[in-house]
Amino acid sequence: MSKKFRPKRGPTKMLTTWGKEDGIRTTVLFNNFGQLVSKTTSELTHFLGTMARSRVYCLIYRRWSKISSDKKKHVAKRNSLLNVVKSKFDVPAIAEGWILRSLGRKVKNWRSRLKKQYYDPTLSLQEQYNSRCSQVQEDHWQKLVRYWNRRSNKAKNNGQEPSRFEMFEKCFSNNGNTNCLEAQDAIREMNELKKNIPPGTSDEPGPDDIFSKVKGNNKYGNADLYGLSVQATDLWGVTPARIAYTRENQMLKSRIVELEAETAQLNREKNHLNRD
């Protein structure tokens, strides 16, 4: 007998909470760290979820860090995010930080879900606009799509990995402009060298790339490009650090193969005993 079809449940709307009369608020309890611990956890967290998905309260195309403090928690503004929550729940001052952080995470998760389910970078721009989720306002969706497309183009970098010069320029300047005189001089010199690269060739990372010619192999800027304690020459060429890493990696791979073989042999013996 086939199972009865059940339609998928839509997003929680919390209509009862939103429809509360003025002055009627749900009591919620928080610990000394401002963390929610009461039995009303689900009501408050679901309510924050509806705010994150709202077309009115949270702008889905704008990063949470870019939303002004006034919009988040201005005391005198009735529609500030914190005041909206306080109009439905009794929220102590110690919990305000937790409320806003939780709301910020929900906005980020909602944006991530939209991108996964509705955004396809292989489509034309108009097709991307047309694939809008009905819960998102049209102009908000278009701004979000344009933002994702810009991010996608930056990541692709014409299908190639960014050169060390390009990474340096992104890290230490804004479109080539920087207040650091040393970085400014270095970027100017690197741009001059870039003009000498033949068309169709790339500035592959190595001891003779543009970055090395200006800044040297393991000098200023490399820690920011590759991470703490990782030098440029650790990533290309034959160096002691690279040799040690490769040797250790091969030893680990060999040990894994041995363990897999031993496990397979034990399983065969176990199966043979079970048959007997």
Quickly state the pLDDT bin for 127 (edges 50, 70, 90). Answer: very high
pLDDT at 232 over 60: no
Across 131-149, average pLDDT: 92
Across 13-38, average pLDDT: 82
* Selection from 167, 223, 159 nearest residue 190 by Cα: 167
Q: Give the separation between CA 116 and CA 212, rounded to whole angstroms.
A: 39
Which is more confident, 273 or 106?
Answer: 106
Residue 27: per-residue pLDDT:
86
Cα of 84 vs its chain's centroid, Å: 27
Which is more confident, 137 or 78?
Answer: 137
Say if CB 203 and CB 219 are below 8 A apart.
Answer: no
Across 222-236, average pLDDT: 46
pLDDT at 132 over 60: yes
Total length of the chain: 276
Amino acid (one-letter) located at 28: V
Say if CB 264 and CB 254 are below 8 A apart.
Answer: no
pTM for the predicted model, two decimal places:
0.53
